[in-house]
Amino acid sequence: MMAGLTLRGFSTGYPKSKVIENLDVAPLPRGEITVLLGPNGCGKSTLLRALAGLNKGRGEMWLDDEELMTQPFARRAQRVVYLPQSLPAGVHLHVLESIIVAQRASGGLHSAASEAEILHLLEQLGIAHLAMRYLDQLSGGQKQLVGLAQSLIRRPELLLLDEPLSALDLNYQFHVMDLVQRETAQRNIVTVVVVHDINIALRHAQHALMLKEGRLIAEGQPDKVITSETLAQVYGVEGRIEHCSRGMPQVMIDGLVREALV
């Protein structure tokens, strides 16, 4: 078994609706970011929740040589951390307190050294000045950054991020993806991120899965997955990949596929 996350015949959904059916995914490597791409409603968030054990799933889910589907939820939660699109409302804790709680939830002991680690993480995220602010006083973007800090402090082996950039401005989007990429490599974890901005996927990810209606359309390096053909098939747009003056690939959208207009 290769190191990383492997899915075999993985299915998930809801009592009256199948969303993901018999999904096979070759090992998503440690130390790299994998992006989940696809249109609204294709199953990205549902898949992420099932990997975290929050939605019922069937099939096999291997993290390295351990089959997580057969493990109790508490055992899976020791290795897998899921960050939803927004933190629960109405939590009246200081930012620092909330991260200490997250650390203890994974069995970590709070100490002067661990508090220094938390403060360093907040500094890296640019939110150290919010340490003594209450969560329910923060903006949506600030809460997303706190949620990322809560996730990283738990030292996951599999990190699942559901649209972590949706409430962030351009500066923070770039900043956060740089940090996630660095932490993923340094900690040698598997990171799976749902994003809608394809250019972010091209710039910051090393691996991509593209879904449509619960089916895997393409997987591999982002510049091999994101092509004119897959953009037309999955998103219904006429697009092309161009390179900027620094050689970075970018998606240019020229219009809608005519059939998509019918």
Tens digit of pLDDT for each residue in 159-205? 999 999 998 999 999 999 999 999 999 999 999 999 999 999 999 99
Do 193 and 201 form a contact (C-beta atoms < 8 A)? no
Q: Which helix (H) or strand (E) holds 184?
A: helix 170-187
Q: CA 147, CA 91: separation in Å to the nearest integer?
A: 12
pLDDT at 259: 65
**Domain chopping of the chain, boundaries:** 5-223, 227-262
Query: Which tens digit of pLDDT belongs to each residue from 65-124?
Result: 999 999 998 889 889 999 998 877 777 899 999 999 998 877 766 666 688 889 999 999
Give the per-residue pLDDT at 2: 65
Helix (H, G, I), strand (E, B) or coil at 165: coil
Q: Report how far residue 8's alpha carbon sits from residue 25's, in angstroms, rounded to the nearest whole number.
A: 7
Q: What is the mean pLDDT of the chain?
A: 92
Residue 234: the pLDDT is: 96
pLDDT digits (tens, 9 = 90+) for 138-163: 999 999 999 999 999 999 999 999 99
pLDDT, average across residues 28-33? 96
Alpha-carbon separation of residue 161 from 27, 148, 195 (angstroms) = 18, 8, 9
What pLDDT does 110 receive?
62
Give me the mean pLDDT over the 56-60 stretch: 95
Residue 262 pLDDT level (bands cut at 50, 70, 90): very low
**The pLDDT value given to residue 261:** 45
What does the block give as tokens for 239? 């697009």
Pairing assessment for the beta strands 190-194 and 32-37 based on DSSP bridges: parallel
Does residue 243 surpass a pLDDT of 80? yes
Average pLDDT, integer, range 228-232: 96
Q: How much is the pLDDT for 37? A: 98
- Output the CA–CA distances (angstroms, integers) from residue 87 to 43, 82, 164, in the order listed: 21, 11, 11
Tokens of 172: 């923070």
CATH 3.65.10.10 fits 5-223, yes or no: no
Q: How high is the pLDDT of residue 159?
A: 98
- Please report the pLDDT score of residue 53 as a whole number: 95
Distance CA 238, CA 223 (A): 16
